[in-house]
Amino acid sequence: MNLEDFEAFLEDFCDFLDSLEASVVKMKMQIAKLVGVVEKQKWNWNPDAIKWVKTEGWKGDYEKSEDVNNPEFKKMLKDLTEHNGKLTRDGIFYWIFKNGSTVGRKKRQEQKKENP
């Protein structure tokens, strides 16, 4: 086996492993769905490591951050961008302002359950 053949083998093997990994993830999701287990989302950013400033807007109190040099802020901003600029995490709603570098957050109000 020459070097080119070995490189081709490694490339094919990596492709095989990638497809195997994708299949395993799909199967885990199907199994979880069948047994009624919901996997809790894992977050890759820590909101407590970001500097937040209390602010008041026309809809009430909220916090905002422009901590653009903070790696946690950058991860949060990337996550928000992947979710069209808005997401809720642990009962707190996060959004990106129109300027693209400011993020706001506000605790979601619990909806009252009405008695039938």
- pLDDT per position as a tens digit, 11-46: 888 778 877 877 787 788 788 778 876 656 678 899
33 shares its domain with 81: no
Categorize the per-residue pLDDT at 54 as very low, low, confident or very high, splitting at 50, 70 and 90.
Answer: very high
28 shares its domain with 51: no
Residue 93 lies in a domain: yes
Is pTM beyond 0.85 here? no
- pLDDT per position as a tens digit, 84-116: 999 988 889 999 999 999 999 998 876 555 555
Residue 71 lies in a domain: yes
Q: Where are the alpha helices (DSSP H) in the chain?
A: 3-35, 71-82
Closest of 80, 114, 75, 83 to residue 100, by C-alpha: 80
Give the Cα separation of 86 and 55 in Å (integer): 18
Query: Can you give the residue range of the structural domain that contains 5?
Result: 1-39
Note the pLDDT of residue 111: 53
Give the list of residues 6+ apart from residue 115 with CB closer than 8 angstroms, or none.
none
29 shares its domain with 58: no
- Return phi, psi of residue 84, to 5°: 60, 30
Residue 26 lies in a domain: yes
Give the Cα separation of 103 and 72 in Å (integer): 12
Note the pLDDT of residue 43: 80
Q: Which two tokens stand for residue 27?
A: 């199967």
